Amino acid sequence: MNRPNKRRQTPEQVSELTTNRLSVYLRCLNELDAAAVETISSQALAEQFQLNAAQIRKDLAYFGEFGVRGVGYYVKDLRRHLRQILGLDQHLRVVIMGAGNLGMALADYPGFRQEGFEIAALFDAANEKIGHESRAGVPIYDIKELRRLARRERLDIAVIAVPAPQAQPVVDQVIQAGIKAILNFSPGSLKVPAEIKLKSVDLTVSLESLSFFLAQHEAPRA
């Protein structure tokens, strides 16, 4: 029933918009599965979020034919496929650069562990932090130890939570250590070689986008 008979493992270049949606679908399927729902149609799935059913079918069709005509998608089945497509069957190890407020909060963020990510370590340059650990027990190492740790243990993803001026040098060290995927929370643009995947979450830009909205819609205040 679930032999993706076409285009299996042929993701050529799927847009990031598509893969982001896959994450969203997966979360929804987790909930449906927990609620013991057996099958779901693209239509029903689309109604959950603000989305078109054809969009969902197209997104999934990049990776195989997971559905059954006349029925929809088997929840367990599709969930398993999405986890595999997103690489979540692999247990990825994450390090967080910067043990400030944000870094510590991210280290203990329950959402990460939930989907199978392991927060392996925090790194900081401040002596007084090194040797301690986050509330949830993530150890804080000296940033100089990064390469050593990376050699000993596999590290898949680095999260950048250092102040803006340190961001580029820290990213350079992360790349030196052989880490290929970076989630950046520092503001401003970072330079990375083409083979490295950098994803940035810019909190200031997000707030300013709301500010723009208010400026356009609110009666211009006195």
Query: In DSSP terms, which residues pair with 93 in a beta bridge?
Result: 118
Helix axes 16-34, 75-85, angle to 10 degrees: 140
- Amino acid sitting at position 156: D
Residues binding DNA: number (CB under 7 A): 26
Q: Residue 214 in contact with residue 198, Cβ under 8 Å? A: no
Which CB sits closer to a copy of itself, 69 or 135?
135
Q: Residue 99 in contact with residue 124, Cβ under 8 Å? A: yes
Q: Per-residue string for binding with a copy of itself, 24-63, x by CB under 8 A? A: x-xx--------------------xxx-------------
In angstroms, the CA 133 to CA 158 distance is 18
Of 206, 127, 196, nearest in space to 160 by CA: 196
Is 137 among the residues that bind DNA (CB under 7 A)? no
Give Cβ neighbours of residue 17 (< 8 Å, ≥ 6 apart): none
Q: Per-residue string for binding with a copy of itself, 62-81, x by CB under 8 A? A: --------------------
Which CB sits closer to a copy of itself, 144 or 197?
197
Q: Per-residue string for binding with a copy of itself, 160-199, x by CB under 8 A? A: ---xx---------------xxxx---xxx-----x-x-x
The least distance separating a copy of itself from the CB of residue 139, rounded to whole angstroms, comes to: 17
Q: Alpha-carbon dihedral of residues 178, 90, 5, 69, nearest 10 degrees?
A: -130
Query: Which residues in the 67-106 window bind DNA by CB under 7 A?
Result: 67-73
Which CB sits closer to DNA, 73 or 141?
73
What does the binding site for DNA look like in residue numbers (CB under 7 A)?
Answer: 6, 15-18, 41-43, 51-55, 57-58, 60-61, 65-73
